[in-house]
């Protein structure tokens, strides 16, 4: 599917290989040296191990947090050392003396990690001088950071101006699975879209409407659709300036013969809190003092039954305020229904949806849980990702 060169298309023996990973792992709020979820590190291991086993001199780099956080990647160096069962030297800078000295002392099959590339504001600015300096550490560039592939930063795209550039296994896997689903799906094909806002999902809805057979709408965005159709939605989330858009999406779906699943009932509460009193209301008739925060029992049943019928399912956005247990039933039920549909290709894109599936312990039951929230969203919008566009064509 992916027409870009991969690490298997190049010879890395004896070469210094700069590898951009997505080691932007969550850290414990109190103790910033503790990694609370190392999935992004473990997902990078196949590429790292391949390069080491093939005699590359591997120089890893990544960002962590925002530029203003000035967070060190030291906890990642430690975790990588544990996972690879060998000391991973950690440079205290990115393009400074320490980075250069450590890179020069690598032998074939060795690996090291540079400090957080976002310690330099030039990273996000995609500054050419910075990109060139970073590139000068190596002879080959491998991008395996799917999570930042939608950003044109110095280490995710800029360096490819100065080095032969290919992708690693993670990017290959992400693009392969999602690209196949989008371009050549097993039918019928269902998209489940939720989350807070219609506005953040417009691009995805529009791109997917041309491809899917079914569209399931849940989450906060459902109320904009309900209001657009004349419903009464109380204090529920609503984007007043998207009412016309909601109607045009429904019209387009009808014209294209896409079956739309809409939650008929809703779990409501007066406010968003863990011990709120809840009740069930029709989604188009919510009292003024209440807010819709999850799909109701009838909708859960309808959604779960419908999910069984599909062979490809892409899910982006929780169908309720799933951070709180009392509003998580819809999202858990949808996640379980996907997990139980073993005939289907099931793909989770979107950071919050992936986190929800992980929290319910169902990640392993899905065909693919994307490591890139924003990147998977842009990919599903049909956009070109700069971190992939910059790589050599096959």
Interface positions with ligand ADP (CB under 6 A): 194-196, 200, 219-220, 237, 292-293, 316-318, 320-323, 350-353, 373
CB closer to ligand ADP, 47 vs 322: 322
Closer Cβ to ligand ADP, 69 or 323, answer by number: 323
Structure tokens at 110: 């060795």
Cβ closer to ligand ADP: 196 or 209? 196
234 binds, among Mg ion, ligand ADP, none (CB under 5 to 8 A by kind): none
Q: Which does 185 bind (CB under 5 to 8 A by kind): Mg ion, ligand ADP, none?
A: none
Catalytic residue among 32, 197, 232, 359: 197
CB of 218 to Mg ion, least distance (A): 14
Query: For the chain, what is the largest distance between any 2 Cα atoms, rounded to a whole number of angstroms?
Result: 69
Place of tokens 């967070």: 71
Please identify which residue in the block is written with the tokens 């863990």.
274
Pick what 296 binds: ligand ADP, Mg ion, none; C-beta below 5 to 8 Å, kind-dependent.
none
* Of residues 362, 363, 352, the one with CA closest to residue 323: 352
* Active-site residue flag, 351: yes
Is 219 near Mg ion (CB under 5 A)?
no
Interacting span for Mg ion (CB under 5 A) from 18-26, 184-192, 260-268, 346-354: 346-354
Rule CB under 5 A: is residue 194 a binding residue for Mg ion?
no
Long-range interactions of 283-286: CB distance < 8 A, separation 24+: 283/222, 283/223, 283/226, 283/231, 283/233, 284/226, 284/229, 284/230, 284/231, 284/232, 284/233, 285/231, 285/232, 286/223, 286/231, 286/232, 286/233, 286/234, 286/236
Rg of the chain over all Cα atoms, to the nearest angstrom: 23
Active-site residue 292, yes or no? no
Nearest approach, Cβ of 203 to ligand ADP (angstroms)? Answer: 12
Using the minimum distance from each CB to Mg ion, give the nearer residue, 47 or 353.
353
Q: Are 124 and 147 in contact (CB under 8 A)?
A: no
Q: Which is nearer to ligand ADP, 288 or 343 (CB)?
A: 288
352 or 378: whose CB is closer to ligand ADP?
Answer: 352
Confirm or reject binding of residue 351 to Mg ion (CB under 5 A): yes
What size, in residues, is the chain?
A: 394
Catalytic residue among 20, 40, 79, 173: 40
Q: Cβ contacts of residue 232 below 8 Å, gap of 6+? A: 284, 285, 286, 288
What's the 3-state SS for 20-47? ECCCCCCECCCCCCCECCCHHHHCCHHH
Known active-site residue 374: yes
As a whole number of angstroms, the distance between CA 88 and CA 389 comes to 30
Nearest-approach distance from CB 284 to Mg ion, in angstroms: 26
Catalytic hit among 65, 109, 231, 374: 374
Residue 275, CA atoms < 13 Å, CB-side half-sphere: 0
197 part of the active site = yes
Q: Which residue in 168, 351, 373, 387 is the catalytic one?
A: 351
- The entry of Mg ion, ligand ADP, none near residue 317 (CB within 5 to 8 angstroms by kind) is ligand ADP
> DSSP states of 142-173 as a string?
EE--GGGTTS--TTTTGGGGTS-EEE-HHHHH
Catalytically active residues are 40, 197, 351, 374
- Sites of contact with Mg ion (CB under 5 A): 351-352
């Amino acid at each position: 599917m992916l027409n870009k060169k991969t690490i298997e298309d190049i010879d890395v023996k004896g070469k210094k290989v700069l590898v951009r990973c997505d080691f932007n792992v969550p850290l414990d709020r109190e103790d910033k040296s503790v990694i609370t979820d190392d999935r992004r590190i473990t997902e990078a291991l196949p590429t790292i191990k391949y390069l080491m086993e093939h005699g590359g001199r591997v120089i890893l780099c990544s960002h962590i947090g925002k530029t203003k956080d000035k967070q060190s990647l030291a906890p990642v160096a430690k975790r990588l050392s544990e996972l690879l069962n060998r000391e991973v030297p950690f440079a205290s800078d990115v393009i400074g003396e320490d980075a250069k000295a450590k890179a020069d002392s690598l032998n074939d099959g060795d690996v090291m990690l540079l400090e957080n590339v976002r310690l330099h504001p030039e990273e996000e600015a995609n500054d050419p001088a910075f990109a060139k300096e970073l590139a000068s550490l190596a002879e080959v560039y491998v991008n395996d950071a799917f999570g930042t592939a939608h950003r044109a930063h110095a280490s995710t795209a800029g360096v490819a101006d100065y080095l032969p550039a290919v992708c690693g296994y993670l990017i290959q896997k992400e693009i392969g699975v999602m690209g196949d689903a989008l371009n050549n799906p097993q039918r019928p094909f269902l998209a489940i879209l939720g989350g807070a806002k219609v506005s953040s999902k417009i691009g995805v809805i529009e791109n997917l409407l041309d491809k899917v057979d079914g569209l399931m709408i849940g989450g906060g965005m459902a109320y904009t659709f309900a209001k657009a159709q004349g419903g009464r939605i109380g204090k529920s989330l609503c984007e007043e300036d998207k009412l016309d858009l909601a109607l045009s999406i429904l019209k387009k779906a009808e014209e294209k013969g896409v079956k739309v699943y809409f939650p008929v009932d809703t779990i409501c509460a007066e406010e968003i809190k863990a011990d709120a009193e809840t009740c069930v209301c029709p989604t188009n008739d919510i009292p003024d003092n209440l807010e819709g925060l999850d799909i109701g029992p009838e909708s859960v049943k309808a959604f779960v039954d419908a999910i069984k019928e599909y062979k490809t399912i892409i899910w982006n956005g929780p169908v309720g305020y799933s951070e709180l247990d009392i509003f998580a039933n819809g999202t858990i039920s949808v996640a379980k229904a996907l997990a139980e549909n073993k005939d289907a290709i099931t793909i989770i894109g979107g950071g919050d949806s992936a986190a929800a599936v992980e929290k319910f312990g169902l990640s392993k039951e899905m065909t693919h849980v994307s490591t890139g929230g924003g990147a998977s969203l842009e990919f599903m919008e049909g956009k070109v990702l700069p971190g992939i566009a910059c790589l050599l064509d096959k």
